[in-house]
Each structure stands twice: as structure tokens, then as C-alpha cells.
Structure 1
Amino acid sequence: MVNPVSRAAFALAVFTAAALVGACRDTGKQALFEISGRLVVFNYREATLTYLVTLNPLRPIEEGQTITTTMDNPAGGGPLVFSQKLFVGHTKVTIESPELECVVKDRPYKVAITVKSKAGKVLQTIETTMVSAQDQDMLPDRPLVVGSGYDPNPELAGHPDGRLPGGRGVTCPA
């Protein structure tokens, strides 16, 4: 037969162990989103380059939440900052940067994503980097086609490779 004191001691040990394990858990805010994808998008036909980040919601999106994204500007100067609304029920969030210039192969560019509540309270900040496998100079200087009929761009007449004598018209930092 089991001694009642042994039972009580065992129960106390189990309770103490459970309390210690529970105390070791991070009691901070749980993450709302995780990064599910990052991509540097070269659109050769349109002669554009953008960053694309996808987020996976870990909890349901609440009404009025927004995301503000701050990115290093490869062309120099201040960072690029843009915001977007989040929509209840979405199963993923896609963040696309404005068109970029001067992206350099293998150089990391910082990206910070801030999730805010309807009242503007910061709920989560996600930091990552974007790294391109190609230099931007692989793109043509102007879009290769224009219009809904995909007509050849008249600016590129006589330049089938898409390269113009003046280039893209952008001076990139060294």
C-alpha cells in the first residue's frame, strides 16, 4: 500500500515541476505574423525590380490593423516607408515595395515591418533583410513592350537588347 505522505510528496513534486516549467515560458506577446517568403522580383518585360515579402498570420487579423514597412533605399538617401491596411479573414499578407533602383547583387538591404492596431499601438515588429542574386543592371533600360497589345516600345527602336546610350537615367551610389 502506498503511504499517504509519499502520495502528497509526489503530488507536490509534480505541481512544483509544472510551475517551474510554466515559469520558463516566454510570457511576452505572442507573434501575430511570421515571414513565409521573401523575393526580389525582376520584371524584365516591364524593366522593374521590387521586393516582395509574404507574411503568414499566426492569429486572426483584427479589424483596423495596418502594416508599416521601412526598407533601405538601394538608390541612397532616406529609407522607403509605406503602409497598407490588413483585412480580416486573409490567410496571407503580401507586401510589395515600390519600384527600386540601384540594387546590387549579394548586398543585404534591411527591412522592418511594424504591425499596428486600429488605435496605432505597435503589436509586432519583424526585421529581415533582402538580398538579390543579380545586379539590377541585367534589366533593360525601358520596358520592352507597351500597351495592352504588347507593342514593342518605340523608345527602344534600334536597341533590341533594351540598352539605351543614356542607360536608365539613374545615378547610383558607389
Structure 2
Amino acid sequence: MGVAEERTRPPGWIFLLLVVALALGACRDTGKEALFEITGRLVVFNYREAMLTYVVTLKPLKPIEAGQVAVTTMDNPAGGESLVFTQKLFPGHTKVTIESPPLECVVKERPYKVAIRIQGADGKLLQDIETTMVSAQDEDMLPDRPLVVGSGYQPNPELEGHRDGRLPGGRGVSCPASG
């Protein structure tokens, strides 16, 4: 190979730089189809209401279109069929908050599956989002009944004589054996 040929061929580092740039571009393109990303997951213990829920927040990566819905399926900590519920999504919102119905039998450090299907107005699947919820506390830390009732937050008469919120019969829920 002569001196003239070496000067016309690009150095090897330029080729490597081109390959890296193409690879990074390909990685960026893989997220183009995502409509939402998870920005938060929280297990909420509302001690005053004696209620526990899961909350998942989503950030829209593209504008929400009219008629879109989130169909959420969650493991039921109390056992049995999964919990399934649908929530309308509204154009213009910059955050979507998905909250479960009240839950029973949540066990500390046990992962519970959550699947969120984003569907268009025609019912067509637009995105599948999967995550897990893990609580840092067992559900049994909640009182057996709400501590207060009514718009004036009057003490719950069911708890009279039970200042700790614990009743002899407990919450009245039979939870599956953990393990």
C-alpha cells in the first residue's frame, strides 16, 4: 500500500465513531412507540381512613388522545381473581394517577404485579406497562375501622372504648396464609 492510498482512507477511529453514533440512534428509536413512562409507585396507608391503596403515576410521552383509557390489572393481595379497573385518560393532562380500590391482606416485602394496558378509543392496545408494588409495612398496622367519620371528623363510634383502633374481631377479613 502506497503513501497516497493511506491518506485517502479514513482513520479507524472515524469508522468506530460512526458505528457508535448509529447504535445510539437505534437505541433512541426503540422508545418512539411508548406513550407513557412510570414516574412513581407508592403504597398508601391512610391510617385515619383505615385504608390501603396502590398508586402508580404515569408521565405522557406523547399527547393523550381523546377516548384513551388505562385498563389496570393488579394482583389481589387477599387472594382470588385479579383486580381489574378502567380509567379514562384526558387530553392535556401532564400526569396520570392510577389508584387501586382499597386493598386488604398486603404483606410486607411481597411483590404484587401490576399491568396497565393503554387502549385507544377503538379498544386497540397502544402500550403495555408492567411493574410491581412492594410495601415496606404489613397491612395489619392499620386500625380495624376508620378513626373518624363524617365531614366534622367525629370519632368513629364503632371504636368507642378502643382508642388504639383495634376491635376484638379485627378487620373482619380472612387473609390467605403468607408464605
Distance 1:23 1:95, change over 3 A: closer
- Provide the C-alpha distance between the structure 2 equivalents of 1:100 and 1:23, rounded to a whole number of angstroms: 43
Distance 1:163 1:116, change over 3 A: same
**Structure 1 length as normaliser, TM-score?**
0.87
What does residue 111 of structure 1 align with? Answer: 114
Task: List runs of 5+ in structure 2 lacking aligned partners.
Answer: none
1:132 aligns with 2:151: no
What does residue 60 of structure 1 align with? Answer: 63
- Provide the C-alpha distance between the structure 1 equivalents of 2:87 and 2:153, rounded to a whole number of angstroms: 31
1:151 aligns with 2:151: no
What does residue 168 of structure 1 align with? Answer: 171
- Provide the C-alpha distance between the structure 1 equivalents of 2:93 and 2:163, rounded to a whole number of angstroms: 43
Work out which of the residue numbers 76, 80, 83 in structure 2 matches 1:80: 83
Task: List runs of 5+ in structure 1 lacking aligned partners.
Answer: none
What does residue 26 of structure 2 align with? Answer: 25
Q: Secondary structure at the match of 1:52?
A: strand
- Provide the C-alpha distance between the structure 2 equivalents of 1:31 and 1:111, rounded to a whole number of angstroms: 17
What RMSD, in angstroms, separates the aligned Cα atoms of the two structures?
2.1
Q: CA deviation at 1:21?
A: 2.0
Q: CA deviation at 1:79?
A: 0.3
Structure 2 letter corresponding to 1:167: G
- Provide the C-alpha distance between the structure 1 equivalents of 2:165 and 2:23, rounded to a whole number of angstroms: 62
Q: CA deviation at 1:23?
A: 10
Work out which of the residue numbers 42, 47, 56 in structure 2 matches 1:44: 47
- After superposition, the C-alpha distances for 1:52-108 in whole angstroms (9 at most, x for unaligned) are 000011111111111000000000001000001100000000000000000000000
